[in-house]
Amino acid sequence: MNVLGKIALTCCSLSLVACTMAAQPADFTKAAESTINGVVSIKCYATPRSYGYGGGYDPFSDPFFEYFFGQRRQQKRQQPEQEQQQTGLGSGVIISDDGYIVTNNHVIDGAEKLEIVLNDNRTFNATVIGTDPNTDLALIKIDAEDLHVIPMGNSDDLKVGEWVLAVGNPFSFTSTVTAGIVSAKARNISQITQGHSMGIESYIQTDAAVNPGNSGGALVNLKGELVGINTAIYSKTGNYVGYSFAIPSTIVKKIVGDIKEYGAVQRAMLGISFSELSTKLAKEKNITAVNYGIYVAKVEERSAAMEGGIQEGDVIIAINDAPTRTTAQMQEQMNKFSPGDKVTVKFIRDNKEKSVTVTLRNSQGNTKLTKASDIFDLGCAFTEVPAETLKQLEIRHGVQVSGVKAGKFKDAGIKDGFIILDINNSRVTSKDDIEKIYKEIIKGNGSDKVMFITGIYPTGKKVYYAVDLSE
């Protein structure tokens, strides 16, 4: 892809960059020494058949996909029964001495086995505790004790122009350190991703050299504190040429904390549709008090904004005194909170400054915390439809429901023997199809998490069901 450049979610690693300050050289040695043992190499393995697409689109043949995953080895077409092969390489950061490691979701996505190599060459297998594709973060764990931990810093305290180090494993070079400065904060990079989802849109931009294989590595300040997780690079080639992007530690701390405690991310919503205030929009709406901020285009029903009295046409300029001049800044602030948290919203109405304290809600319009869910919550088993049944009903595909017990399907009225033909307009031919659709709905950003199912009973009666997957 070649748009102004290419975003490569293969972030980061380093190669030592010599940097000098005008007055005196900055000393990076202490920060480097205190962090290299807290960054690990992550090797991902999968069997070739597990990502075969049956003659359809093969994402592993797309050069852009290479950059998303990290350093991906070229795979040849394989015969069906194959042993696991290494499919990717990335980095991770140790955040607790008992083996919890944070990395990027795109590093581990699709892997059947994760092998973790510490800086002292000890090797462990890792288990996935939880993932959050929306912020491209994942929490994994190894069975180890007394590990070196990189302390969590506060990315809010970073200043543009401040020195930072990137630590990771580019091109399989372990414990690589590079230096640079913070080039920008709350950077939105969606305009150069050509429609590819990049998770959050509020990054720390640096000019520290990062390359494929360093996704999930550490961005640290000169105190040796973790201030970001390296995630993306801006490049025409897929390798470092100028800028890299990291997820701020304030977001990392919130996301991995939720995953560890609840098994799922607790997302807070203000409940508005908005756009950034532009000069043209300000002129149209006769807004003269500010020339920046978040313009409220719509207030959702049953939302924190509606309860707090925020109205269409208001311009939000701060959340808890943190500026919200841009979409990225607004998003970064909202990612720090959970449903039930109270925040003070400062806004402009009729060219006068006002403020209100609101209680944030979840996507369902309440303050309940979300638990981790899986397909077992549907409360049934799925079996292959007998050939004679397919013939009798004159259908070519489907998956049959059996053993219905307490769960989402029973609540919706689905009974044993029901044959699922499609879900949300997607054809269903196997249990894997159902699980894939289920995960897409659960992980989606939409407030309505519903399975719209079309199916048929063995009697020939065609039925439609709506299965509510929300809490």
Does residue 432 carry a catalytic annotation?
no
DSSP H stretches of helix in 263-316: 279-284, 304-308
Classified as helix, coil or strand, 174 is coil
Tokens at residue 437, please? 């659709």
In the chain, the largest separation of any two C-alpha atoms, in whole Å, equals 85
Catalytic residue among 13, 91, 202, 215: 215
215 a catalytic residue: yes
**373 part of the active site:** no
Phi, psi (deg, nearest 5) at residue 258: -65, -45
Residue 254 to residues 46, 137, 164, 264, 396, Cα–Cα distance (Å): 30, 11, 22, 11, 47
Give the C-alpha separation, 100 to 128, whole Å: 10
Catalytic choice (106, 155, 249, 373): 106
Q: Which of 132, 136, 207, 433 is an active site residue?
A: 136
Residue 181, SS3?
Answer: strand
Whole-angstrom distance, CA of residue 148 vs CA of residue 195: 39
With contact defined as beta carbons under 8 Å apart, do 116 and 93 qualify? Answer: no
CB-based contacts of 180, cutoff 8 Å, min separation 6 = 17, 19, 163, 164, 166, 206, 207, 208, 209, 244
Cα–Cα nearest to 63, from 195, 237, 209: 237
Q: Are 248 and 102 in contact (CB under 8 A)?
A: no
Task: Output b/e per residue, 118-148; b: 16+ Cβ within 10 A.
Answer: bbeeeebebebbbbbbbbbbbbbbbebeebb
Positions marked active-site: 106, 136, 215
